[in-house]
Structure 1
Amino acid sequence: MQDHLVFTVIAEDRSGLVEKIADVIAGAGGNWIESSMARLGGEFAGIVRISVPAENASQLTAALEALGTDGIDITLRSGHGSDNEAPGASAHLDLVSQDHPGILRDITHILSEHKVSIEHLETSVEAGSMQGGLLFKASADLRLPTGLTPAQLSDALQATAADLMADISLAE
C-alpha cells in the first residue's frame, strides 16, 4: 500500500536543492509524482506530491524534516485528496493591467463569490511598453462549479475589469 504526501519546500536558492530532495525521496522508495517549483526573490519555493510505501512513510517524513539542518524548510501534509478531476467546467484566465495594489485581491474576490477554484496561478510584474510603467500579468487555470458557465464568469470578471483598467480574457 502506498501513502501519499504533499509538501512545500522553501530554501535560499542554490544548485543541488532538487537533487537533495529527490535523493531523500528515492532513498525511502518514494516516487515523485508532480511538482511546481520556482525561484522567487532569491528563494527557491515549491510544492511536491509524492507516493511512498506505507512502511517507509515515517522514515521519509523524518528524512525530509531533517533537511532543515541544511536550510531547506519542508512543511508536510498528508495527500489524502483524490486524483479524480473535480466536477464542473474548466477555464483559463489571462489578465494584463497597469500594476497597482489590489488587482489580485479584486479578481480572486470575484472568483470566490462564484465558488471558482484556482487550479494553477502564475503572476508577474514586468516592464510595460512605451509608457515605462509596470504591467501586472496573471494566468490561471480555473475549475468552475457545476452550474456556472464560462460565459457567466466572464461577464462577472468584465464588470470588474473596467474598474481595474485591466484586459481580462477567459477561454474554455
Structure 2
Amino acid sequence: MNRTLVLSILSDDKPGVVEALANTIAEHQGNWLESRMSHLAGKFAGILQVNVAEDQLEGLRNALSQLRASQGIEVVTSEAAEAQQEGQDITLQFSLMGNDRPGIIKELSQAFASQHINLDELQTSCSSMPWSGDPMFTAHGLLHIPADVDLDQLQDQLDEISDNLGVDIELGAVEDSVAE
C-alpha cells in the first residue's frame, strides 16, 4: 500500500536543494507528485507531495530529517489527510490589487473563514505601481465554497472590504491556467 506525504521545505537559496530532495525521495522509491517552490528573501521555500510505499515510509522520513544536518535543508513531513467529499461545493478564483498596507490578508481571510470558505491556493506579491512608484499589493487564489454560501452576501462582504481598504477585489470562474 502506498502512502502520501506532504513536505514543507526551507533552506538557504543555493544550487542543489531540489537535487538533494529528489535523490533522497528516489533512494526510497518515492514518487514526486505536486510541488510549489519559490525563492523568498534569500531562502528557498516549498511544499511537495510525495507518494511512497508503506515499507519505505519511515526510511524516507528519517532520510529527509537528516538533510538538515548534512545540507542545511529543513524538511517537515506530514501524512496527507484523506480527501473529503465535496458534494455540490463550487470553486471560484479571486484577485485583489491595491496599495500595499498591513492587514489586507487578515481582512480577506476573516471574510472567507466567516463563511466557512476554504482558501485552496493563495499567491501574493508586492511591487511598485508603474504610475506612482507606490507599493502595490496583489493576491490571487482559489476558493472552495460550500454550496449553502450566499454568493451575493459574500460579494457584499468583499465590496465592503474593498471600500475600507481601498483595493479592488474580484470573484470569478476558474480559468484553465489557474486551475492547472
The answer for the alignment partner of 1:12 in structure 2 is 12
Aligned pairs for 1:1-172 (under 5 A) are 1-69=1-69, 70-82=71-83, 86-87=86-87, 88-172=89-173
- On the 8 A contact 1:37/1:44 being kept in 2, the answer is yes
Q: Distance in 2 between matches of 1:11 and 1:85?
A: 35
Q: Distance in 2 between matches of 1:7 and 1:150?
A: 34
CA-CA distance at 1:85 after TM superposition: 6.6
Task: Name the count of aligned residue pairs.
Answer: 171
Unaligned runs of 5+ in 1: none
CA-CA distance at 1:86 after TM superposition: 3.2
Deviates more, 1:148-157 or 1:131-140: 148-157
TM-score (norm 2): 0.90
CA-CA distance at 1:155 after TM superposition: 2.2
Aligned residue identity for 2:171: L
- On the 8 A contact 1:64/1:74 being kept in 2, the answer is yes
Q: Percent identity?
A: 29
Give deviations 1:115-149, integer Å, cap 9, x for gaps.
11011100011011222211010001110012125
CA separation of 1:35/1:119 partners in 2, compared to 1, >3 Å: closer, same or farther? same
- On the 8 A contact 1:99/1:125 being kept in 2, the answer is yes
Q: Distance in 2 between matches of 1:71 and 1:143?
A: 36
What is the SS of the residue equivalent to 2:105? Answer: helix
CA separation of 1:85/1:99 partners in 2, compared to 1, >3 Å: closer, same or farther? farther
Q: Distance in 2 between matches of 1:11 and 1:21?
A: 11
Give deviations 1:73-120, integer Å, cap 9, x for gaps.
0111111322x6734110100000101111111111111111110111
What is the SS of the residue equivalent to 2:95? Answer: strand
Q: Distance in 2 between matches of 1:154 and 1:22?
A: 43
Q: Distance in 2 between matches of 1:136 and 1:154?
A: 20
- On the 8 A contact 1:31/1:50 being kept in 2, the answer is yes
TM-score (norm 1): 0.94
Unaligned runs of 5+ in 2: 174-180
Aligned residue identity for 2:46: G
Give deviations 1:24-50, integer Å, cap 9, x for gaps.
101100001111111110101111111
The answer for the alignment partner of 2:176 in structure 1 is none
